[in-house]
Structure 1
Amino acid sequence: MNRLKYVLKDKVAALSLSIIAVTTVAGVFAPFIAPHDPEEVNMELQFAASSWEYLLGNDHLGRCMLSRLIYGIRPSMLWVFAALVLSVTIGSIVGFLAGYFRGKTDAFLMRVCDVMLSFPGYVMTLAVIGILGVGFENILLAFVLMKWAWFARIIRTSVMQYAESEYVKFSKAIGASHLKIMISHIIPVALPDIAVIASSSFGSMILQISGFSFLGLGIQAPQAEWGMMLNEAREVMFSRPELMLAPGLTIVIIVSAINYLADTLQVALDPQLMTSKNKQLGFETTSIAKLEGKGVA
């Protein structure tokens, strides 16, 4: 509860959380919120300026930009989040097994991770696209293959630290099962680390999926996606810059909100960082008070 209060007390973090929450709700309920069908072509409205009926105007096929922006939340953010959850889940299982049992289990699992991490992320993604073909689902699959080993390595380090704690050793001494020890003692203390790692990766994954879609390797027309909207507006970027401005600003705002919230979560979930931040804020407040006092005097 104190950690949640700390996040909400930070005005920028609270604003970031609100932006993410509102965007998520808009994506989930896109059919009820979007004013028009995002795939409806109306050539009479080609490159039409913004109006009360079409607040963000229309694209090169007369489609509603606002509706496409709202529907683009699903592939650009929600499906990326699903891929992130799957990657973190696989990485957590591997990391917990390797960090807790150590020995041969750790050696085998880490060698598998080494093999996966030996391929650069973009090379792995392009290889999956080359084998399975262009498509949004294939990029998400590549993300999972690319990320889980990285999560496993980081989570393993965290689990190894907690597995050596006194209360875990005591639980082993009284005959508690490995599963019970992991569920009762290690998972609760490792969850904050996992949350910070996952939230830090979320923004970069959104940028990556938008980048691949911008290159034409992701989601295909006529479906809406922010990166593909940027690609479609590229040819008229000088004559109609507002067509690139809407999806571009959306990506910047969402990724910035996620990154700032991830930084705040890291401080809130780490007692040492929170203590350091509080001391720093206390020092700054005291210094300001002294300066004001001197000014009044």
Structure 2
Amino acid sequence: MRWLRPIGQDKLAALSLFLISTTLFAGLFAPFLAPHAPDEVHMELRFAAPSWEYWLGNDQLGRCVLSRLLYGIRPSVLWVGVALALSAGIGTIVGFVAGYFRGATDAVLMRICDGMLSFPGYVLTLAVIGILGVGLENILIAFALMKWAWFARVIRTSVRQYADSDYVRFAKTLGFGDVRIMARHLVPAALPDMAVAASSTFGSMILQISGFSFLGLGIQAPHAEWGMMLNEARTVMFSKPELMLAPGIAIILVVSAVNYLSDSLQLALDPRLATSRRAPHSRTVAESAKLQGSEVA
């Protein structure tokens, strides 16, 4: 795991990883961390200001905003992670099979991927929702159907780079089976690319599920979800704009942390990117030194 070391050296990447880990922890243990039940209604506390009992105040039904924010992590982040793992798993298997065996197998699988990728993601998701109905489960099914082909493309390209390596050929010469070769030699080599692909997709999926819930196509009341919290606060956005701050800031922070962590992974995996970023600065220093030398002369 040498490719993880630069992330620990990057303070902002480490902070992003800490924020994501804290968010996942808070979502898993929301029943223990939330001060109140997320659907507990207190009309006498309608639009109440933040207090010691209700740290982020109360919404239009007197529900605890902090509790709903914590419970909203589950559909907005945790269940999105489950859909990501499912689609990445399917795409990884297809990508390994296509990249390793090649030939007719590769051609058939990639044509299927081309057919799936020819549909815009939002259109395919709306089609699944139109067939199966609104709800979190149907959006997650749409995500799994929509993303696996992209993962297969990425992993297939990575596997093809290592399938002709000398150690893979040597393993074939020794009589190792295909499954053993892929598990022992190709999976560790392609794992960094898999991590980058998954992390870069995670943020977009969080935004998408929040957007569909904001439109009323995702999780339904009285369950809590960040996009639906924004939709509920939309009716009072001018009189009580603070109700949109908590879910809005949560989405921004988590997605920004995921995106920055993905960029850090790319830099850790491809040193040429870091070199290209430092190159303009190096040229500037060299030119300055040359200019100073000519002035001295």
TM-score band, normalised by shorter chain: over 0.9
Pair 3,104 (structure 1): closer, same or farther in 2 beyond 3 Å = closer
* Runs ≥4 residues deviating over 6 A: 284-287
Pair 155,16 (structure 1): closer, same or farther in 2 beyond 3 Å = same
Match of 1:255 in 2: 255
Residue deviations 1:75-113 (CA, integer Å, cap 9, x gap): 000100110011100000000000100111111111211
Residue deviations 1:244-282 (CA, integer Å, cap 9, x gap): 1110011001100110011001111234435556x6599
Pair 154,5 (structure 1): closer, same or farther in 2 beyond 3 Å = closer
Q: Percent identity?
A: 70
Match of 1:294 in 2: none
Match of 2:245 in 1: 245
| Deviation, structure 1 residue 177 | 1.3
| Deviation, structure 1 residue 175 | 2.0
Map 1:186-205 → 2, pairs under 5 A: 186-205=186-205
Opposite residue 103 of structure 2, the aligned amino acid is G
Pair 184,282 (structure 1): closer, same or farther in 2 beyond 3 Å = farther
* Distance in 1, Cα, partners of 2:108 & 2:125: 24
Any stretches of 5+ residues in structure 1 without a counterpart? 291-297
Match of 1:268 in 2: 268
Match of 1:26 in 2: 26
| Deviation, structure 1 residue 153 | 1.0
Work out the number of aligned pairs and report it: 290
Comparing 90-99 with 168-177, which one deviates more in the overlay?
168-177
Structure 2 residue matching 1:55: 3-state secondary structure? coil
Q: TM-score, normalised by structure 1?
A: 0.92
Any stretches of 5+ residues in structure 2 without a counterpart? 290-297
Residue deviations 1:193-244 (CA, integer Å, cap 9, x gap): 0000100010000000000000000000000000000000001001100101
Q: TM-score, normalised by structure 2?
A: 0.92
What do you get for the CA RMSD once the two structures are aligned?
2.1
Q: Does the CA-based 8 Å contact 2:3-2:192 persist in structure 1? A: no
Match of 2:38 in 1: 38
Opposite residue 186 of structure 1, the aligned amino acid is L
Pair 253,125 (structure 1): closer, same or farther in 2 beyond 3 Å = same
Opposite residue 101 of structure 1, the aligned amino acid is F
Opposite residue 205 of structure 2, the aligned amino acid is M
